[in-house]
C-alpha cells in the first residue's frame, strides 16, 4: 500500500475490514463501559438526591406541624382570655343586677310596710 494511486485489491479491502472491525469493537467496548459507569454514577446521585430531598421534606413537615400546634395553642389561649374577660365583666353585671334587685326589694318592702301602716291607721282592711 505504498502507492496511493494503485487500485485496491480484495485483500486490501479485507485488511481494512479487519482493522475497522477491531476498531469498532474497541470503541464499542470503551463506550459501553463508560455508559455503564455513567448510568451507575447517575443512579447513585439520584438516590442520594432523593434521600436528601426526603429528609428535607420530613423536616419541613415536622417544622410545619410544630408551628401549627404552637399557633393553635396561641389561638386557644387568646380565645380563653377573651372568654375569661367576658365572663368577668358579665359576673360584675350580674352582681350589680342582683344588688339592684335587692335594693328594689328592700324599697318595695319599705313601701309595703308604709302602705300597711297607713291602712291600719285608716282602718282599711288589706285586699285579699
Tens of pLDDT, residue by residue, the chain (128 residues)? 467 778 878 888 888 888 877 787 777 777 888 888 999 999 999 999 999 999 999 999 999 999 999 999 999 999 999 999 889 999 999 999 999 999 999 999 999 999 888 888 887 766 67
Three-state DSSP at 123 gives coil
Return the domain boundaries, the chain. 9-92
Letter string b/e over residues 27-57, b meaning 16 or more CB atoms within 10 A of that residue's CB: eeeeeeeeeeeeeeeeeeeeeeeeeeeeeee
| Contact of 38 with 31, CB cutoff 8 Å | no
The grid cell for 117 is: 301602716
- Backbone φ and ψ for 121, nearest 5 degrees, come out as -70, -40
pTM: predicted TM-score of the whole model, two decimal places: 0.46
Nearest 5 degrees, angle CA 59-CA 61-CA 62?
65
H/E stretch holding 7 reads none
Amino acid at each position: 500500500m505504498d502507492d496511493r494511486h494503485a487500485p485496491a485489491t480484495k485483500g486490501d479491502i479485507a485488511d481494512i475490514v479487519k482493522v475497522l472491525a477491531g476498531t469498532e469493537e474497541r470503541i464499542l467496548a470503551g463506550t459501553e463501559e463508560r455508559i455503564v459507569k455513567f448510568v451507575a454514577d447517575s443512579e447513585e446521585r439520584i438516590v442520594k438526591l432523593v434521600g436528601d430531598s426526603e429528609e428535607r421534606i420530613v423536616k419541613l413537615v415536622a417544622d410545619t406541624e410544630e408551628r401549627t400546634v404552637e399557633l393553635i395553642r396561641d389561638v386557644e389561649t387568646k380565645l380563653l382570655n377573651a372568654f375569661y374577660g367576658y365572663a368577668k365583666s358579665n359576673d360584675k353585671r350580674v352582681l350589680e343586677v342582683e344588688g339592684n334587685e335587692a335594693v328594689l326589694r328592700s324599697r318595695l318592702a319599705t313601701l309595703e310596710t308604709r302602705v300597711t301602716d297607713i291602712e291600719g291607721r285608716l282602718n282599711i282592711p288589706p285586699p285579699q
